[in-house]
Amino acid sequence: GAVVSQHPSRVICKSGTSVKIECRSLDFQATTMFWYRQFPKQSLMLMATSNEGSKATYEQGVEKDKFLINHASLTLSTLTVTSAHPEDSSFYICSARDSARSMNTEAFFGQGTRLTVV
Amino acid sequence: GDSVTQMEGPVTLSEEAFLTINCTYTATGYPSLFWYVQYPGEGLQLLLKATKADDKGSNKGFEATYRKETTSFHLEKGSVQVSDSAVYFCALSERGRDDKIIFGKGTRLHILP
């Protein structure tokens, strides 16, 4: 199947700093990518939909200025957690669908990024 | 809005036992339905899917049937193995809704040898 690569897989940062997470579709193009946050023993919460060449669409309650999303090409979306705080510590996962295929086909997920803010 | 409800875990079974994980959904249109699996320390993988009513998705011995009348998509396996231990997520995606996937809360499955 198609591969979505997420980097880094694990990062520890100090409070107040910013962290960038990359999500790449390796063998397909994705006009839309999705960013999720997963709390321990809980489900995936959709944070935002990343659209290539335009602004991301954020879910209700997600701070746009806190979680900056850039989708500069058809194979790369980035999530930047700005001025990180310990409560931002979580598992962040991206996903993407193949733009060349019809809607409602499977989405492919990255391996996830474990962010720890100390 | 759209939502997915699945049985809470953890579910603990012995090897070779029969597995059922219940999943029901709420949607305004005609969604596609999915089961994803997350093994420890890994991202999500698609396990199976169904795109219309009465479709049956199957993979690795797992099955789920899209039941429109009961808005359900229960996951079943006749004989589980220790390697099936993971978290299972039921999910839906509705056409024309930005292709967003809405997940249930996940069910953690432990299989004992």
CA distance B17 to B74: 16
Greater confidence (B98 vs B22) lies with: B22
Measured CA to CA, the distance from residue B3 to residue B31 in angstroms comes to: 11
Position B96 scores a pLDDT of 60
The tens digit of pLDDT for each residue in A77-107 reads 999 999 999 999 999 999 998 777 765 567 8
- Give the pLDDT band (50/70/90) at residue B43: confident
Cβ atoms A108, A87 nearer than 8 A: no
Nearest residue on chain B to A111, alpha-carbon basis: B43
Q: For chain B, first and last CA: distance in Å?
A: 41
Which residues of chain A are within 8 Å of residue B43 when distances are taken between CB atoms? 6, 93, 109-112
A112 to B42: CB separation less than 8 angstroms, yes or no: yes
Q: What is the β-pairing status of strands B107-112 and B11-14?
A: parallel
pLDDT of residue A72: 83
Residue of A33, A58, A103, A114 to mutate, interface with B, max B Cβ within 10 Å: A103
3-state secondary structure of A53: coil
CA distances to A52, A58, B93 from A8, in Å: 21, 23, 28
Question: Residue A96 forms beta bridges with which residues?
Answer: A33, A108
> So what's the pLDDT on residue B34?
94
Question: Which pLDDT tens digit goes with each residue over A10-57?
Answer: 999 999 999 999 999 998 888 889 999 988 777 788 999 988 888 899
